[in-house]
Amino acid sequence: MNLEKLFGSKTKVDILKYLLFKRQWISMRALESELDWTFPAIKKQIDSLKIANVIDINKEWTGRSITVKPELELLLKELFYHGLKWDLIDLFSTYEFMIEKYFFGKSFWINLDMDLVVIYKNLEKPQIDKIKESISDIFKWNFISVVNVVFMSINEWNKRYRLADRFVLDIMRTRQ
C-alpha cells in the first residue's frame, strides 16, 4: 500500500506516523527536529491536516501542540498498520527462498503475544541478521521502536509442532 499516494505527501504521512506511533502533543518546531523535513514543509502539511479535520492544534501560551483527533486515531492506526503489513509482506516475498512462513500478531490485531513470528529455512547467521535488520528498518520508518519478533528455524517449528508446544499451537489456532 502506498500511503504517500493516498495522502498526497510523504511529509504528511511522516507527520501522521510520528503522531500515531511515537508522540503526540508536539510542536511544529519539535517535529522539524525529529523529522527530516523543513519547517515550511511541515507547516504546510499541518495546515492541510487541520483543514481536513484530522488533527487538533492546542494553542496555549506555552506554544502549539499537535494531536490526532481521538475519534480518528484508531482508524488511522489500523490504516497505517495495514500499510506496514504490506511492507513486511513485500519484504518477505523478496526473501521467499529464505523464509518458510510468517505470522502477524498483536500489532496487527491478531490474538498472539508476539507482533511477528518468522519461520526461516536453514540459514546462516549473516542471512538471518540481514532479514532482522530489514524488518527493524520497516518498523523504524513507521516510528515503532518496540516490537516483539520471534525468529525460528523450520526444524525448530516442526519439532515444537510435533511436541504440541503451546506457542506453536496458539499460532496455528489464531490462523484459522
Q: What is the DSSP letter of 119?
A: E
List the CATH number of the domain containing 56: 1.10.10.10
pLDDT number for residue 116: 95
Which residues 6+ apart lie within 8 Å of 84 measured at CB? 107, 138, 139, 142, 144
Domain assignment present for residue 27? The answer is yes
Give the range of the structural domain holding residue 61, as residue numbers without chain letter.
3-68
CA distance 12 to 161: 44
Are β-strands 116-120 and 99-104 bridged in parallel, bridged antiparallel, or unpaired?
antiparallel
* Contact (CB, 8 A) for 92 and 100: no
Q: In this structure, are 110 and 150 located in the same domain?
A: yes
In the prediction, which pLDDT does 104 show? 94
Strand, helix or coil for residue 116: strand
- Residue-level pLDDT at 3: 66
- The predicted-structure confidence for 59-88, as pLDDT tens digits, reads as follows 775 667 899 999 999 999 999 999 999 999
Residue 137 within a domain: yes
**Number of domains comprising the chain:** 2
User: For residue 21, what is its C-alpha cell?
Assistant: 506511533
pLDDT digits over 81-100, tens only?
A: 999 999 999 999 999 899 99
